[in-house]
Amino acid sequence: MLNVHMHRHVLNGSACLGLNPVWDLRERVRASMYIPSVFSLCFFFVIINSVTSHVQNIYAASLSPQTLPLQLKFVITKTMIVLFVANCVPLLIQQNVDGSDFFNRSWVEFKVGFNNTIGNYWLGNDLLSELTQTGRYKLRFDLQSRANPSNWYFAEYSGFFVSDETQNYTLQVFGFSGNAGSDSFNKIHNGMKFTTYDRDNDLYTTSNNRQSSNCAARHGGGFWYNACAAVEVNSLKGHPYDDFSWDGLPGGKALQSTRMWLLCK
């Protein structure tokens, strides 16, 4: 694999900080993106493993306008400037390595994202909305079986869009393919709004006052719940309500770990 070690560079009188490649993209942008003029840019690129098509490392490079190979587009959010390449950049958007309660997070935490790509990780709903609205991306789930951890399955969706916060990050998904056994994400979750333990947008109701009607509170993590879920990649392993799982997964629905990717169409 190509190994790139970046240090502090000065270009046309302006600086672009070198970055630790184990940082996640959001932290790198927030910590070191510096754009003092149109004559200096920090350009992020992704090194892809040719066999698995999974992102191995993300590095930063300083490029002058004369050496920029592609047109760049800026997406401005409240907390960051994201620089992405016109021909699309594959990105990890979710990773659950242990089925813990790590995803039992607030609305604000899911909005901006949390942790890094080494462990449990969520990119952030604001950025996810911005990226999917470009229409350049499809969605991929990588699903590790708990019954047989050596078995990995996948589900891809050719259409994947997340609306903005004013519409509670409503999900639109279609075009299933893969070997995950069932189109569980589209069948149950399409059209759903995002729910967290402190923002209840799901369709679940109960007449039992001893039970929560909030699916995120019941299942241990924020997600696009219906009433409640067939895909529980953010749920708590061993939870009494359906567990960390994918309905219809060959060999049993229980999951050992998961990843979600934005892949280029």
Q: What is the pLDDT of residue 122?
A: 96
Q: Give the per-residue pLDDT at 87.
A: 55
Residue from 4, 6, 1 nearest 54 by CA: 1
CA distance 198 to 19: 35
Beta bridge partners of 62: 42
Structure confidence at residue 91 (pLDDT): 87
All CATH 3.90.215.10 domain ranges in the chain, comma separated: 91-264
The predicted structure's pLDDT at residue 190? 98
Intervals of the chain under pLDDT 50: 1-85
- Identify whether the C-beta of residue 83 lies closer than 8 Å to the C-beta of residue 74: yes
pLDDT for the residue 229: 94
pLDDT for the residue numbered 138:
96
Listed in sequence order, the residues at least 6 apart from 261 whose beta carbon sits closer than 8 Å to its beta carbon are: 54, 55, 90, 91, 92, 93, 139, 140, 141, 142
Per-residue pLDDT at 31: 35
pLDDT tens digits, one per residue of 17-41: 333 333 344 443 443 333 333 333 3
Structure tokens belonging to residue 180: 């995950």
Closest CA to 15 of 53, 42, 46, 52: 42
What is the per-residue pLDDT for 212? 72
CATH of domain 91-264: 3.90.215.10
Record the pTM: 0.70
Report the half-sphere exposure of 127 (CA within 13 A, side-chain side). 26
Per-residue confidence (pLDDT) for residue 177, from 0 to 100? 97
